[in-house]
Structure 1
Amino acid sequence: MHVFKLEITPARTIAAGFALVIILGAVLLRLPFCLKPGVTLSFIDSLYTATSAVCVTGLVVTDTGSTFSPIGEALIALLIQIGGLGVAAVGTGVMAAFNQKLNFKSRYLIRDSFNLNTMGGIIRFLKSLLVATLVIELLGAVAAFTVFIKSYDFWTAVGISCFHSIASFNNAGFDILGTGSSMYIYRNNVWLTLVTIILIFLGGIGFVTINEIYREGFHYRKWSLNTCVSLSMSIILLFGGALLFKCTESFNWGEAIFYSMSARTAGFSTIPLNSFTAPGLMTLMALMFIGCAPGSTGGGIKTTTFFTLVIRLRLAVTNKPEEMFHYSIPEGAFKKAAMVFFMGGFTVYISTFLLMYTNPSLHFLDALVEMTSAYATVGLSTGITSSLNTAGKLLTIIVMYIGRLGPLTVATLWYYEDDAKARYPADYISIG
């Protein structure tokens, strides 16, 4: 017999926190001072925008720069920041800033939010996380300012630079340029492209990795297995994806590297996706689905999950030991990775089916890209987002929410207590 437990768990607290911030953001974004004069926004579009911001996705049904006032844009940047750091981290960070002691519940929330394996040093980790975020985003804004000041007045350039830095580091993909075409007009600007790539990369390797590299330096033998895998997989996927884009699209190396980086949950675009070849879109979806490192601002099934599955596949083919970087991989990691991979694939498959069912005019590849992008919290689209009906928008909102929480968090929302002591006998089952 299974008994449903209504107790407050870390997973439920995190899920409720994200939901409340999304709803509050949706309500605020509809207020007149958040919109430009003469602009109206339906609640479903406001909810979609707030969800996309908090889930650091970047999919939009209305152009951000043309719809929202400076106050509305600042609110979206705040929602992105909260979503990127995590509701638990922001809340406990504010408490720590006012010298409030954190109880065990708050510490558990931080641990679960960033997939930490210990309760030790939670406060120190939280402070370093907030400081690192502030420093990186500030440096990114200064670097971007040197580009935007050439086209805008001083304060407008400051606002766009800060927004772009926050969106880039948090892998959100929003822009407030008002052109509705992401970074198309800066396609040939090498400096802004490089700054954006660096911000996306730093946000995507994870706060735990950044903290450990800062603490231990580049003495990789002192790094944990998680840091070694997160950093090495990010580099391999960056250049591996760029090579595939060079083979499938007429990109130069700069464009190939940019899209290889952006596809792993940032969502910035310099070339319309509807001009991509089918192999190029398949490469894009593979990178989106894998995503970034755990504990980062990005989504996807995570680089460590993909790495763990590859190692298990290598074991099955070559019978080599499950060891990498002078560490052995725990058995439980393979089971967890398999579950994450399966749940991610299942979510994308079902959501694509439902999107095509509710929007029959969509082409399969367009719908698949849209739902993969929503689940992996990327923000790239072939251009169908604004044409979705209400059912399609609601479906995308749900998928973005699931993707930001992560499949393991969603799975543990339904906690059951098993009071049955007896078990049926095990028997042989043929696999494969």
Structure 2
Amino acid sequence: MELAQRVQSLTPSSTLAITAKAKALRQQGHDVIALGAGEPDFNTPEYILDAAKESMDRGMTKYTPSGGIPELRKAITEKLKRDQQLTYDEDQVVVTTGAKHALFTLFQVLLNPGDEVVIPAPYWVSYPEQVKLAGGKPVFVKAREENDFKITREQLEQAVTSKTKAVIINSPSNPTGMMYSREELSEIGEVAKEKDILIVSDEIYEKLIYTEDPHVSIAQLSEDLYNRTILINGVSKSHSMTGWRIGYAVGNRDIIKAMTSMASHSTSNPTSIAQYGALAAYTNGEEEVEKMRNAFSERLDAFYDKLIDLPGISCVKPKGAFYLFPNVKEAASNCGFSNVDEFVKALLEEEKVALVPGSGFGAEENVRLSYATSMENLNEAAERIKKFIQKHQ
């Protein structure tokens, strides 16, 4: 039976593929160090677990409103007011089955066949696939490494056409960990205003920042940008709740209403128990979040220094998230590999270190390494990568 054309054009997730390969090797008895995971290695904080258990005991195990329980939507508006000084009403919020589902649903309600979405590259692997599934066309703009993997105003101006519907901004970024400044966001916002396009602002890593520069949401910068921005966020990364699948979209009422209606015909509602866990995440203190952020910051500093000492590897130091995105083209070439993908494949087979090739993110010279693992694993991974390069040179 022939499958629908919409799925025949999809590119499999490189992050999930490398994770599956590493898991298979582990099951065969190999000592694999997996640096491909896009999730914190900490368990969900105890107070969130307790809140979820309590919700079950109280019988909160039934259907909820499709857009999320009112208490959680209110808590989200309070969080945005507290952290970003952004004021939203509850009917401007839709709670979704993860931030990924928020993006998927947004593109489904936003795009008509042929509509274009500007996507800075390197990009998170699911952006272009979700745009294609909605009948849209991804338009890639290469963010230069010398500009910390961030696009400029001039690049965006050149990419926008009469068919452009939106631009995606992911800050801090997956996979690069880079973060746009207020000034850089302002310039991008000016183009969005001039060209009358929407801004999809993915802020899922906004709590994981390792610099004195604060996180800035582009929606904060002006009334116009507030009105044309759909803000995407969730508790997966900030509160180590990846498996709970709670995200949200905030913004224009008509768009949020359409997303809520669509969710009612797809997921019905996010899991009730997980919603009460997310409610606890946003209504309690953030001591556990800060502990996790501090641990990531320490790992970043230690692992970054080891990484840039490796021959043929260069890396711009990230400011957020929990990824490093080094350029390994020279190392791969010096080791006799025709491309970085072959380098990554051999590293996994020979030294049992799993990285994600940058080709899946639109950057063929790079690899993504997650430092969401123990310092012991990071130190051992650095030694294995060093051994691998020395053996092949």
For normalisation by structure 1, the TM-score amounts to 0.30
> TM-score under structure 2 normalisation?
0.32
Q: Looking at both structures, which has the greater relative contact order when contacts are Cα pairs under 8 Å and sequence separation is at least 6?
A: 2
> In proportion to residue count, which structure has more helix?
1
